[in-house]
């Protein structure tokens, strides 16, 4: 019966061992050295989403401790844990117990570490020092520049790069074959183009497209259209037409009904601004993108997502009015 | 400062308990409680005195301290923010000795209802700590003790109610002061001041003093000319009106600070109503830009507990918004209740399901729940809306609850649930040769969330081809 149960392919086909990882060769080689030596420093994995950071961390632990590696591993996500105090408690709890085995340390994976404030990172640094005898940290971040210097200097740094077209397409092909899914090779190439080297996104699109039938170029575009709520583009167009309150209603729909965060929305807006569907004089795209960047910065620091995005929409409405007038 | 220069509210503060006017019940209860303490065994270690402003709550505590020769340690609502201040008081409270010899102490926390809900969470806990550890009586005062957030304090305290003072009582006190100051006064004038004070003796004495010092006598015509109703807190509707009518920065700042809602709620009210008030797009943008700055400061305050930034929040949401007006004409606008607050209330259940789904998947997928929401849920929705049979297998794989399935599959949740049931019963899925139904028109996510219509999309039955056929599906 369990064979009838299905998983998301991004998880199902996640490489378990370092040997299974087909890209990031240089990183894998260095990590395999740690397995050989049965020792490692604190690590910092940085790079864009979907490039294998979390996978590499798990695979490393797997190769170090064997199949039951989970008990040697504490996995925390900085953006889901409520503040450094919670993290501190969990780390303390985890580091206290010793687990027998030939590896004298346990591993703590802290994902999205760049979402922590500088203060929290200072506290984290002290934690890393305190438990350095019994634990190793693997910090994972999209933006290494948001990790404070003292932490960076305590970690071996690994930079993950967006996956190459060939790697993504081959992987998608392989998965499709495992799943007995019919596909057009052009469709897989389109998936690579739109996922921008993000393997997780690429696999997700493949799975959704295959749920619709054969994976064709058309199906892929359909999935992309559905996955990105069209309300985002509608919202931008309404604002540019000067219909500010209607644009604001769309924004609320996106936030409340879809549960998108302000950052998610502004990032998708940014993508749309340079797309051909939005009609704008070219120099205004630059102007709007610049303001979008400012708003994204405020979203990170601010207390209320909707207010920040309303400021953005109001600016769009103003720009739209000037274009027309 | 010579005694005659003291403001009358201080000069005529009750020295003894019997000087406190009216409030016989409250006095009796308070003295009984205080005596329990002095004998060493109070039922409750704290007392919460509540009643309208200026009815004698603080005065009673001061008079009692004076009469019982207790050292009064006082703390105001504004101090509660800072945990270290409270901890300083806690230290004093925990020690038996007083600075001034072997006197006992009484600790007064004035206006505890001034603690704002979320921001002063720590302050509230600190007060509870204080009550638990204190070796001296702790007295708190509040205008409104029934606020939800004060519940822990209510539970830990003896509640003592104070009544609103009657006009007669207030007028009598004013008369005594006039007599003692040798001020000529008309009884109707005192009556008038008492009436407008709405039982607030403190404000009545201040009004009396203002007239008497200015004119040397208190007449009805002077009172009618000079005494206004007190500044009070405004509803958000009134506050918005005041804000948008402000011509000066100070007016606008006053407008956003004198409201009966907290500043975060006020921020939402302004956010909702800027486009209702301003007509010019540039004004609207300037106002939002100011509001955005206010929210930015508020974020920094929350993250770093830098409460000294709070003033800038008010600057931005008050004057910043009011003075954004350049081209828009003054006009009467109809203000709305913040729609987002309504929407959040209405969609609470759905959001809870979505959040629990995100959390559920986050741990299995080794990503944050935010990423589940932005990357995985949209993909799952496409699958659940378009391929219920395949969706059922995923639901099984991740042990999704019925609510989660309904959230993902919307109008097709019955189909998904039916397939899931079959899977669970261990029925073999129909073979590849069996006819299966898939929707021809691909459903969009928004169709499901926005319009819960009963319109069924046209379904076609397609015969599935053999292995490698055109319509091969992944199951």
**Per-residue pLDDT, B80:** 58
**Arithmetic mean of pLDDT, A93-120:** 84
**Per-residue pLDDT, B38:** 83
Query: CB-side exposure of A250: number of CA atoms within 13 Å?
Result: 19
Q: For an interface test with B, which of A83, A243, A310 has the most B Cβ atoms less than 10 Å from its Cβ?
A: A310
Backbone angles phi, psi at B409, to 5 degrees: -95, -15
**Per-residue pLDDT, B277:** 94
Distances (CA, A) of A184 to A169, A172, A281, B441: 11, 11, 37, 21
Superfamily, domain A2-159: P-loop containing nucleotide triphosphate hydrolases (3.40.50.300)
Is A210's CB within 8 Å of B370's CB? no
The CATH number of domain A231-324, selected from 3.90.1150.10, 1.20.272.10, 1.20.1270.30, 3.20.20.70:
1.20.272.10
Q: Which CATH architecture has domain A165-227?
A: Orthogonal Bundle (1.10)
**Span of A120-129, A280-289, B94-103 with lowest mean pLDDT:** B94-103
Q: For an interface test with B, which of A4, A53, A220 has the most B Cβ atoms less than 10 Å from its Cβ?
A: A4
- Name every chain B residue with its beta carbon within 8 A of the beta carbon of A318: 281-282, 284-285
Residue B365 token pair? 């997928």
Percent of chain B scored above 90 by pLDDT?
38
Confidence class of residue B442 from pLDDT cuts 50, 70 and 90?
low
User: Which runs of consecutive H residues, i.e. helices, occur in B198-317?
Assistant: 201-215, 220-226, 236-244, 249-257, 263-277, 281-304, 310-315
Q: Which residues contact A182 (CB under 8 A, 6 or more apart)?
A: A176, A214, A215, B468, B469, B470, B472
Of B358, B364, B350, the C-alpha closest to B380 is: B358
**Arithmetic mean of pLDDT, A183-196:** 93
Percent of chain A scored above 70 by pLDDT?
98
**Per-residue pLDDT, B33:** 94
**Per-residue pLDDT, A245:** 95
Least CB–CB distance from A181: residue in B294, B376, B472: B472
Confidence check: pLDDT of B431 > 60: no
Cβ contacts from A onto B, under 8 A: 214
**Span of A128-142, B55-69, B114-128 with lowest mean pLDDT:** B114-128
The CA R_g of chain A, rounded to the nearest whole Å, is 22
**Per-residue pLDDT, A15:** 94
Is B382's CB within 8 Å of A214's CB? no
Q: Using a CB–CB cutoff of 8 Å, tell me whether A322 touches chain B.
A: no
Strand-strand pairing, B71-75 and B105-109: parallel
Residue B277 token pair? 């008030």
**Arithmetic mean of pLDDT, B184-212:** 88
**Per-residue pLDDT, B236:** 83
Q: Using a CB–CB cutoff of 8 Å, tell me whether A207 touches chain B.
A: yes
User: Angle B359-B363-B366 (CA atoms, 0-180°, nearest 5)?
Assistant: 125
**Arithmetic mean of pLDDT, B442-455:** 45
Confidence check: pLDDT of A58 > 80: yes
Least CB–CB distance from A307: residue in B267, B343, B396: B267
Confidence check: pLDDT of A16 > 80: yes
- On average, the pLDDT of chain A sits at 90
Burial class (CB in 10 A: 0-12, 13-18, 19+), B22: buried
Is A119's CB within 8 Å of B444's CB? no
- Name every chain B residue with its beta carbon within 8 A of the beta carbon of A117: 303-304
Percent of chain A scored above 90 by pLDDT?
59
Helix (H/G/I), strand (E/B), else coil: B120: coil
Q: Could you report the per-residue pLDDT of B268-314, keeping only the tens digit for each?
A: 999 999 999 999 999 999 999 999 999 999 988 877 777 788 889 99
Of B152, B192, B30, B52, the C-alpha closest to B111 is: B52
Rounded to 10 degrees, what is the CA torsion of B416, B418, B420, B426? -150
**Per-residue pLDDT, A98:** 74
Residue B233 vs residue B413, higher pLDDT: B413
- Name every chain A residue with its beta carbon within 8 A of the beta carbon of B396: 4-6
**Per-residue pLDDT, B77:** 57
**Per-residue pLDDT, B194:** 92
Confidence class of residue B337 from pLDDT cuts 50, 70 and 90?
confident
Superfamily, domain B3-161: P-loop containing nucleotide triphosphate hydrolases (3.40.50.300)
Least CB–CB distance from B295: residue in A8, A204, A303: A303
**Per-residue pLDDT, A2:** 44
Helix (H/G/I), strand (E/B), else coil: B143: coil
**Per-residue pLDDT, A234:** 93
**Per-residue pLDDT, B102:** 52
Confidence check: pLDDT of B433 > 50: no
**Per-residue pLDDT, B448:** 46
- Name every chain A residue with its beta carbon within 8 A of the beta carbon of B292: 295, 298, 302, 307-308, 310-311
Is A310's CB within 8 Å of B271's CB? yes
**Topology annotation, domain B167-226:** Helicase, Ruva Protein; domain 3 (1.10.8)
Integer Cα distance of B385 and B381 in angstroms: 6
Longest Cα separation, chain A = 74
Confidence check: pLDDT of B83 > 70: no
Confidence check: pLDDT of A189 > 70: yes
Question: Distance from A42 to chain B by nearest Cα, in Å?
Answer: 20
- On average, the pLDDT of chain B sits at 81
**Per-residue pLDDT, B456:** 40
Of A307, A285, A286, the C-alpha closest to A295 is: A307
Q: Could you report the per-residue pLDDT of B359-406, keeping only the tens digit for each?
A: 999 988 989 988 898 889 989 999 999 999 999 999 999 999 999 999
Integer Cα distance of A253 and A243 in angstroms: 16
Is A256's CB within 8 Å of B339's CB? no
Integer Cα distance of B139 and B128 in angstroms: 12
Confidence class of residue A3 from pLDDT cuts 50, 70 and 90?
low
**Arithmetic mean of pLDDT, A103-115:** 90
Report ipTM (2 d.p.).
0.83
Least CB–CB distance from B284: residue in A7, A244, A303: A244
Is B473's CB within 8 Å of A210's CB? yes
Residue B444 vs residue B108, higher pLDDT: B108
User: Angle B374-A45-A171 (CA atoms, 0-180°, nearest 5)?
Assistant: 65
- Name every chain A residue with its beta carbon within 8 A of the beta carbon of B300: 301
Q: For an interface test with A, which of B328, B350, B355, B378 has the most A Cβ atoms less than 10 Å from its Cβ?
A: B378
C-beta neighbour count of B450 within 10 angstroms: 12
Is A307's CB within 8 Å of B288's CB? yes
For chain A, domain boundaries: 2-159, 165-227, 231-324
Confidence check: pLDDT of A55 > 90: yes
**Per-residue pLDDT, B248:** 85
**Per-residue pLDDT, B453:** 39
- Contact predicate A148/A121, CB 8 Å: yes
Burial class (CB in 10 A: 0-12, 13-18, 19+), A10: buried
Range of A2-11, B102-111, B190-199 with top mean pLDDT: B190-199
Is B378's CB within 8 Å of A222's CB? no
**Arithmetic mean of pLDDT, A146-155:** 90
**Span of B66-80, B408-422, B461-475 with lowest mean pLDDT:** B461-475
Q: For an interface test with A, which of B290, B446, B465 has the most A Cβ atoms less than 10 Å from its Cβ?
A: B446
**Per-residue pLDDT, A104:** 86
**Arithmetic mean of pLDDT, B116-123:** 58
Is A256's CB within 8 Å of B369's CB? no
Confidence class of residue B468 from pLDDT cuts 50, 70 and 90?
very low
**Per-residue pLDDT, B157:** 92
Least CB–CB distance from A302: residue in B285, B299, B426: B299
Least CB–CB distance from A214: residue in B282, B373, B471: B471
Q: Which residues contact A292 (CB under 8 A, 6 or more apart)?
A: A266, A269, A270, A273, A312
């Amino acid at each position: 019966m369990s064979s009838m149960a299905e998983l998301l392919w991004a998880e199902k086909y996640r490489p378990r061992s370092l040997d299974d990882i087909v890209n990031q060769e240089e990183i894998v080689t260095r990590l395999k050295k740690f397995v050989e030596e049965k020792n490692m420093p604190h690590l910092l994995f940085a790079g864009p989403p979907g490039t294998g950071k979390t996978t590499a961390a798990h695979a490393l632990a797997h190769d170090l401790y064997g199949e039951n590696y989970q008990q040697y591993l504490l996995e925390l996500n900085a953006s889901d844990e409520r503040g450094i105090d919670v993290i501190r408690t969990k780390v303390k709890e985890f580091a206290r117990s010793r687990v027998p085995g030939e590896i004298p340390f346990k591993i703590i994976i802290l994902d999205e570490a760049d979402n922590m404030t500088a203060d929290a990172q200072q506290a984290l640094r002290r934690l890393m020092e305190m438990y350095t005898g019994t634990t190793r940290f693997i910090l994972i971040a999209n933006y290494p520049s948001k990790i404070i210097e003292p932490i960076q200097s305590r970690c071996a740094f690994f930079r993950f790069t967006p996956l190459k077209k060939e790697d993504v397409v081959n992987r998608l092909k392989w998965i499709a074959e495992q799943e007995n899914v019919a596909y057009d090779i052009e469709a897989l190439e389109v998936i690579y183009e739109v996922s921008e080297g993000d393997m997780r996104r690429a696999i997700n699109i493949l799975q959704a497209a295959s749920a619709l039938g054969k994976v064709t170029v058309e199906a892929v575009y359909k999935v992309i259209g559905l996955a990105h709520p069209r309300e985002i583009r509608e919202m931008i167009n309404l604002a540019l037409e000067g219909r500010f309150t209607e644009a604001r209603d769309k924004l609320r729909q996106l936030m409340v009904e879809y549960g998108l965060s302000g950052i998610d929305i502004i990032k998708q807006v940014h993508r749309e601004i340079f797309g051909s569907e939005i009609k704008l004089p070219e120099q205004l795209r630059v102007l709007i993108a610049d303001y979008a960047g400012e708003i994204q910065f405020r979203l990170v620091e601010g207390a209320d997502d909707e207010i920040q995005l309303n400021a953005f929409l109001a600016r769009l409405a103003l720009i739209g009015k000037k274009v027309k007038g | 400062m010579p005694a005659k220069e003291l403001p009358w509210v201080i000069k005529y503060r009750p020295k003894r308990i019997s000087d406190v006017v009216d409030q016989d019940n409250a006095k009796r209860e308070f003295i009984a409680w205080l005596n329990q303490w002095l004998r060493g065994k109070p039922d409750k270690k704290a007392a919460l005195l509540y009643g309208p402003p200026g009815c004698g709550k603080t005065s009673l505590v001061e008079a009692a301290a004076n009469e019982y020769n207790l050292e009064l340690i006082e703390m105001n609502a504004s101090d509660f923010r800072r945990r270290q201040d409270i901890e300083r008081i806690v230290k004093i409270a925990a020690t038996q000795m007083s600075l001034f010899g072997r006197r006992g102490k009484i600790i007064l926390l004035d206006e505890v209802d001034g603690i704002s809900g979320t921001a002063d969470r720590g302050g509230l806990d600190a007060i509870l700590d204080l009550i638990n550890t204190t070796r001296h009586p702790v007295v708190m005062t509040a205008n409104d003790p029934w606020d939800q957030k004060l519940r822990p304090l209510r539970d830990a305290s003896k509640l003592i109610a104070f009544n609103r003072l009657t006009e007669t009582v207030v007028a009598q006190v004013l008369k005594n002061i006039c007599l003692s100051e040798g001020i000529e006064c008309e009884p109707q004038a005192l009556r008038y001041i008492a009436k407008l004070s709405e039982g607030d003796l403190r404000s009545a004495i201040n009004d009396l003093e203002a007239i008497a010092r200015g004119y040397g006598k208190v007449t009805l015509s002077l009172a009618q000319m000079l005494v206004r109703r007190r500044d009070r807190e405004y509803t958000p509707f009134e506050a918005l009106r005041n804000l948008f009518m402000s011509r000066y920065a100070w007016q606008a700042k006053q407008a956003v600070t004198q409201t009966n809602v907290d500043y975060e709620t006020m921020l939402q009210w302004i956010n909702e109503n800027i486009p209702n008030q301003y007509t010019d797009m540039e004004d609207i943008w300037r106002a939002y830009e100011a509001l955005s700055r206010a929210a930015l400061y508020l974020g920094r305050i929350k993250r770093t507990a830098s409460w000294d930034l709070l003033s800038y929040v008010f600057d931005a949401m008050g004057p910043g918004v009011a003075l954004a007006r350049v081209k828009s004409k003054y006009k009467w606008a109809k203000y709305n209740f913040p729609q987002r607050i309504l929407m959040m209330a209405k969609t609470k259940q759905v959001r809870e399901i979505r959040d629990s789904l995100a959390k559920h998947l986050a741990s299995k997928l080794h990503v944050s729940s935010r990423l589940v929401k932005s990357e995985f849920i949209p993909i799952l929705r496409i699958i659940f809306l378009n391929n219920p049979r395949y969706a059922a297998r995923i639901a099984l794989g991740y042990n999704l609850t019925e609510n989660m399935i309904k959230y993902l599959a919307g109008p097709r949740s019955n189909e998904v649930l039916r397939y899931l049931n079959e899977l669970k019963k261990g029925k073999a899925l129909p073979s590849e040769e069996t006819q299966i139904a898939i929707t021809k028109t691909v459903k969009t996510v928004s169709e499901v969330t926005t319009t819960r219509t009963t319109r069924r999309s046209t379904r076609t039955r397609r015969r599935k081809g053999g292995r490698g056929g055109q319509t091969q599906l992944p199951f």
